[in-house]
Amino acid sequence: MFEHEKDQSVLHLDRQQIETLLRNTRHGRLAFLAEGQVEIFPVNYAFDGQHLYFRTAPGAKLLAAESRAMVAFETDGILPDEGWSVVVRGRIAPVAEADVDYVRGLGLSPWVPTYKDFFVSLSIEELSGRHFIFARQPERSDATEFSYDPEQAASTPPDDPDPTRLSR
């Protein structure tokens, strides 16, 4: 999916790579503090290059939006030998009535047959993203450490791993 340097199993994504992932994914998790407790909700979303948009019903997400709360949003993808994660931080707010048709035009609709009559936007104040090549975690005392070579057809973990020393 993304090019890694040799022996670098973690790639820090740039803004263009992050935006590509945000445009091509439709679900994630929204986390925020509400009444002294951390809340996290699965949501589907739309991204227009500037904001993330959600639909919601009355409840914690709508209350957070009405108070312009600072939130974190995470979306990710996992394939057999690689994965990625993007985190967005910003403030959520109700979408102005004049902008609801614009948001509807982004294709945002509930996935389940429930009433989610309120539209919420998340301003993007901070973005980060990482892409991972999967393999067994090397232990500091391993004679041979994991090596990723982008020229190889596939990365492989070290031979004959000791199952008593596998990361759990």
Based on the domain organization, do 80 and 66 belong to the same domain? Answer: yes
- Select the more confidently predicted residue: 17 or 10: 17
Task: Give the pLDDT confidence of 57-109 residue by residue, as tens digits.
Answer: 999 999 999 999 999 999 999 988 889 999 999 999 999 999 999 999 999 88
Based on the domain organization, do 45 and 122 belong to the same domain? Answer: yes
Residue 3 in any domain: the answer is no
Based on the domain organization, do 161 and 125 belong to the same domain? Answer: no
Number of structural domains the chain divides into:
2
Residue 2 in any domain: the answer is no
**The CATH number of the domain where 101 resides is what?**
2.30.110.10
Cα separation of 64 and 50, whole Å? Answer: 20
What was the pLDDT predicted at 110?
Answer: 83
pLDDT score of 43 more than 70: yes
Cα separation of 134 and 72, whole Å? Answer: 25
**Alpha helices, H only, the chain:** 15-23, 60-66, 100-104
Based on the domain organization, do 109 and 128 belong to the same domain? Answer: yes
Q: In the 8-state DSSP scheme, what is residue 116?
A: -
| Distant-in-sequence, close-in-space partners of 44: CB < 8 Å, separation ≥ 6 | 26, 27, 54, 108, 110, 111
Based on the domain organization, do 114 and 44 belong to the same domain? Answer: yes
Segments forming the whole domain that contains residue 153: 136-168
Task: Give the pLDDT confidence of 101-120 residue by residue, as tens digits.
Answer: 999 999 988 888 889 999 99
pLDDT score of 36 more than 60: yes
Based on the domain organization, do 145 and 123 belong to the same domain? Answer: no
Based on the domain organization, do 82 and 119 belong to the same domain? Answer: yes
| Token representation of residue 50 | 């500037």
Average pLDDT score over residue span 14-22: 95
What was the pLDDT predicted at 166?
Answer: 42
| Token representation of residue 164 | 């008593």
High-pLDDT (> 70) share of the chain, %: 80
| Distant-in-sequence, close-in-space partners of 167: CB < 8 Å, separation ≥ 6 | 136, 137
Average pLDDT score over residue span 9-37: 93
Q: What backbone phi and psi angles, to 5 degrees, belong to 161?
A: -65, 145
- 46-47 and 51-56 as β-strands: parallel, antiparallel, unpaired? antiparallel
pLDDT score of 147 more than 70: no
What was the pLDDT predicted at 28?
Answer: 97
